[in-house]
Amino acid sequence: MERADAGAKRTDQVVVYAGIPARIAAYFVDAVILSLLFFAVLAVLTLVIGPTVRFVSPLDVLRARVVVDPGRVVLDALVTTALSAAYFAFSWNRMGASPGQWLLGLRLRDRRGRIGLGVRDALIRWALLGPPLGLIAVIVGTLAPLLRPSAIAVAAVWQLILLVTTTRNERKQGIHDRAAGSTVVTSSRLADRVGSDGGVAAGAP
Amino acid sequence: MLLDARTIPDGAQLETDLCIIGGGPAGITVAHALAGRSTRILLLESGPDEYDDPTQSLYDGESVGLPYYSLKFSRLRFFGGSANHWGGYCMPHQAADFEARTWIPHSGWPIGEMDLAPYYPRAAELVGIDTTRFDLDWWITQDQDRPLPFDAARAVTRVVQIVRQNRRGFRFRDDLQDASNVTLCLRANALEIVTDDQGRTTREVRVGTLEGARFSVAARAFVLATGGIENARLLLASNGQNPAGVGNDHDLVGRFFGEHPRFGAATFVPTDRAIPLGFHFPHRASLSTIEGYIGLPRELQRREELVDVQILMQRELGPSFDDAVDAPVVRDALALPRNLTQGRLDEFGSHLANVVGDLSTFQQFTVPGAPLPIPYPELVGEVLNRNTADRLELIPAIFGDLAGAAYAQLYGAPITTAIFRTRIDQAPNPESRVALGTERDAFGMLRGQLDWQLTDLDRYSVRRTLEIIGAEIGRLGLGRLQITFDADGQAWPEDMSGGYHHAGTTRMSADPRRGVVDGNCRVHGLDNLYIAGSSVFPTVGSGNPTYVLVALALRLADHLGTVLS
């Protein structure tokens, strides 16, 4: 997949690294969009191949009326994880920002300072952002329910690690950014209004 | 002053102005009302400060009539008396309770509602309720819940207030101990009331301790306040001068034992499980806890010639909530603070794991991988398609047992059915009685024997009351009332019990041939023996005995204050 020319412009001017509040806000917008997308896709899936959650009978007054199909849960998790990967990889590659980042005026730059990431780097960045850990938590939780809290805890700790490494880095690069060679920069004043505390560097790549 | 009867020398003769026998709500109220005055008061309490089994065993006796609680435990025999296990329900008698009703033999009090009215404010303070208001219209302004919308000519809701748990002790021990004119004597068991030879004046009461000491107390006046069974037993057992006992010239002592019989008599099946019934269960209103009883208007009772039958609802929650409320994880959650304070970290850990697991129940119904915890589409559809009550039923299944239990506690839960339990103001019945048995207690006193009996009027009244209320429920379209009580059979329901409301055994009447005490609670024929407590109630009444007997004891204290000064 080729990057868009518009996103390949070299920016030798002053670069403002996006601050944490703006990046979290962008992530929240993406979370809302993705959640709605998943809901719609799973609704279609339910119509096509049947429900994941079943009710023994609407009139049944006994307990345990809500039954979850564990196999379907894993399938659903695979579908949503794949959708998540496609959502981010496509938008970072083709638009230089996820929809949430775009709305908040943030852009991703690659190692060379160009707007947008290659597919490989985009997938690396996405993977290290944590969604695969969510998939693992679902699988572990389905196979061994007692381990589910531990798997969820690992995923939560990973998010914390990303937050800390991003905050402490001069160029606001968390582990995921460093692995993918990406930096998140601002492209408009909107991010400032949301609350940028990013760093400033002259001619940074 | 506090005195332990075990320190009183054997054979001692004490002397005081007023001797009160019994440290329960009635006796304590009289002493408390007269504390600080010049009248010297000696309050004799059989028990110590806490439960003591040898003392409690003195209550043991035989029940030969309708099934009844163990007599040993139907009252508590230590300071505070039965207030130590009191349910805290308070409601005054209504005006009609005091009236002689032609269709109810032996009904009617020699005093009326207005005779007690001045004493209710003070009684409210003593029992621990915040207001003397019991009128439904006023409570509706204080309450978010609403009673069932009965036509007032067909059925009514009556308000009962419930004292908070931490205010039900009724001990006032410090007040009594600090009063210069009151001596509280614990572990002092009244064994016999001794009158003069003519049986006109009470001379002394003989007292014993379980350790074997005996002493006597002489006083200008005596108040017997040991409960509906023990009052009669002590009078009957005090037969040194008169074989029939004290105050028993007309064979009335012990007769007319009354209760508030209660049993499940009908099942209410609401048309809509979301019909708000909260007013009819214990709930908070303003700063108080109240409950709405259902009954018939007095005029209708008069026309139908019925005794008063009040209905208490016992809800049966939807099964999911029922299970949630009783779920082990709820006990685990409640045990957490205790585990922590007792340093039992292993149990704390396992209980906490269970709680966390239950709290994460919702997670299994959320779309995996979604950054936000959105529910599965089919779950949303199911919830939207259900009616209110069925939707609520899903709370424990979706959010876990703790959430279900918390919801049921805070807001009530969908009710599948409600059992209508009776609370009958049973018709006075001379054959329902307390007598002396054949066995003896540790002091050699004959134990009490209870022969509790009901009448056909009670039976008919239950059936007819339910029919009328059922018809009103049907007319309003609220649901159906399935009457399970067999009014034609001879047996009473197996689940029938009383409310621990012992009344009538030393009933009040202006006529010595019809009652043991007069309108001032003085035993007919004796000039200085008084009785306090619900044993003087000629009819059990619609109200709750404790609140009424405290008001009546205050009135007695007023009278004694005048007499003894």
Rounded average pLDDT over A159-184: 92
Top residue of B355, B363, B365, B378 to mutate, by most chain A CBs within 10 Å, is B378
pLDDT tens digit string along B304-345?
A: 999 999 999 988 877 778 788 888 999 999 999 999 888 888
Query: CB contact, 8 Å: B356 with chain A?
Result: yes
Other C-beta atoms lying within 10 Å of the C-beta of residue B200: 11
What percentage of chain B has pLDDT greater than the value 70?
100
* Bridge partners of residue B63, in order along the sequence: B450
Q: Within 13 Å and on the Cβ side, how many CA atoms surround B357?
A: 15
Using only the alpha carbons of chain B, give its radius of gyration.
27
Per-residue pLDDT band for A10 (boundaries 50, 70, 90) equals: very low
Q: DSSP letter for A110, please.
A: -
Pair B546, B83: CB distance under 8 Å: yes
* pLDDT recorded at residue A9: 44
Query: CB contact, 8 Å: B458 with chain A?
Result: no
Comparing CA positions, the residue from B555, B448, B507 lying closest to residue B75 is B448
B269 pLDDT more than 70? yes
Other C-beta atoms lying within 10 Å of the C-beta of residue B320: 25
CA of B339 to nearest chain A CA: how many angstroms apart?
A: 22
Q: What is the mean pLDDT of chain A?
A: 81
pLDDT tens digit string along B166-222?
A: 777 776 888 999 999 999 999 999 999 999 988 899 999 999 999 999 999 999 999
Rounded average pLDDT over B68-97: 93
* pLDDT recorded at residue A18: 86
Query: CB contact, 8 Å: B374 with chain A?
Result: yes
Distance CA B454, CA B426 (A): 7
Q: Please report which residue ranges of A95-130 form alpha helices under DSSP H.
A: 99-103, 119-129
Other C-beta atoms lying within 10 Å of the C-beta of residue B59: 23
B299 pLDDT more than 50? yes
Distance CA B250, CA B246 (A): 11
* Measured distance between the N- and C-terminal CA atoms of chain A, rounded to whole angstroms: 23
Pair B225, B553: CB distance under 8 Å: yes
| Pairwise CB contact (< 8 Å): A84 & B369 | yes
Comparing CA positions, the residue from B252, B228, B260 lying closest to residue B93 is B260
| Pairwise CB contact (< 8 Å): A80 & B385 | no
| Pairwise CB contact (< 8 Å): B377 & A73 | no
Strands (E), B361-407: none
Residue B88, phi-psi category: left (phi > 0), alpha (psi -120 to 50), beta (remainder): left
B560 pLDDT more than 60? yes
A43 closest CB neighbour out of B377, B393, B398:
B377
pLDDT tens digit string along B372-387?
A: 888 999 888 888 887 7
Residue type for B465, please? Answer: T
> What stretch of H or E contains B471?
helix B456-475
The reply to whether the predicted model has a pTM over 0.90 is no
| Pairwise CB contact (< 8 Å): B378 & A53 | yes
B398 pLDDT more than 60? yes
* pLDDT recorded at residue A117: 95
* Bridge partners of residue A67, in order along the sequence: A54
Rounded average pLDDT over B514-541: 97
> What stretch of H or E contains A14?
strand A14-16
B412 pLDDT more than 80? no
CA of B426 to nearest chain A CA: how many angstroms apart?
A: 39
Rounded average pLDDT over A121-137: 90
Query: CB contact, 8 Å: A58 with chain B?
Result: yes
Query: CB contact, 8 Å: A46 with chain B?
Result: yes
Comparing CA positions, the residue from B423, B428, B446, B440 lying closest to residue B505 is B428
B264 pLDDT more than 90? yes
Rounded average pLDDT over A22-39: 93
Query: CB contact, 8 Å: A52 with chain B?
Result: yes
Strands (E), B61-196: 61-63, 89-90, 156-162, 182-186, 189-195
Q: Which residues from chain B sit within 8 angstroms of residue A31, using beta carbons?
A: 371-372
Buried b (16+ CB within 10 A) or exposed e, A88-104: bbebbbbbbbbbbbbbb
What percentage of chain B has pLDDT greater than the value 90?
76
Q: Which residues from chain A sit within 8 angstroms of residue B319, using beta carbons?
A: 61-63
Structure tokens at B58: 């003195």
Q: What is the dihedral of CA B471, B474, B475, B477, to 10 degrees?
A: 160
DSSP B259-318: ---B-EEEEEEESSTTS--GGGSSEEETTEEEEEEEE--HHHHHHHT---EEEEEEEEE-
3-class SS at B435?
A: strand
Q: Which residues from chain B sit within 8 angstroms of residue A138, using beta carbons?
A: 368-369
A134 closest CB neighbour out of B357, B360, B369:
B369
| Pairwise CB contact (< 8 Å): B368 & A51 | no
Rounded average pLDDT over B121-140: 95
| Pairwise CB contact (< 8 Å): B320 & A52 | no
DSSP B168-217: -----HHHHHH-TTEEEEET-EEEEEEE-TTSSSEEEEEEE-TTS-EEEE
Pair A99, A30: CB distance under 8 Å: yes
| Pairwise CB contact (< 8 Å): B397 & A62 | no
Query: CB contact, 8 Å: B372 with chain A?
Result: yes
Query: CB contact, 8 Å: B3 with chain A?
Result: no
Query: CB contact, 8 Å: A25 with chain B?
Result: no
Q: Please report which residue ranges of chain A form alpha helices under DSSP H.
A: 20-49, 70-94, 99-103, 119-129, 131-143, 148-168, 175-180, 190-195
Per-residue pLDDT band for A65 (boundaries 50, 70, 90) equals: low
Distance CA B238, CA B224 (A): 13
* pLDDT recorded at residue A13: 54
What chain A residue is nearest to B383 in terms of C-alpha separation? A58
Per-residue pLDDT band for A87 (boundaries 50, 70, 90) equals: very high
Report CA-CA distances (Å) from B328 to B325, B334, B405, B428.
Answer: 9, 10, 11, 46
* pLDDT recorded at residue B526: 96
| Pairwise CB contact (< 8 Å): B370 & A38 | yes
Per-residue pLDDT band for B447 (boundaries 50, 70, 90) equals: very high
Other C-beta atoms lying within 10 Å of the C-beta of residue B110: 18
pLDDT tens digit string along B465-518?
A: 999 999 999 999 999 999 999 878 778 999 999 999 999 999 999 999 999 999
Least confident of A43-52, B97-106, B114-123: A43-52
Query: CB contact, 8 Å: B384 with chain A?
Result: no
| Pairwise CB contact (< 8 Å): A63 & B320 | yes
A138 closest CB neighbour out of B319, B323, B368:
B368
Top residue of B376, B380, B398 to mutate, by most chain A CBs within 10 Å, is B376
Residue B494, phi-psi category: left (phi > 0), alpha (psi -120 to 50), beta (remainder): alpha
CA of A143 to nearest chain B CA: how many angstroms apart?
A: 13
Structure tokens at A122: 């985009």
- ipTM score of complex: 0.77
* pLDDT recorded at residue B384: 87
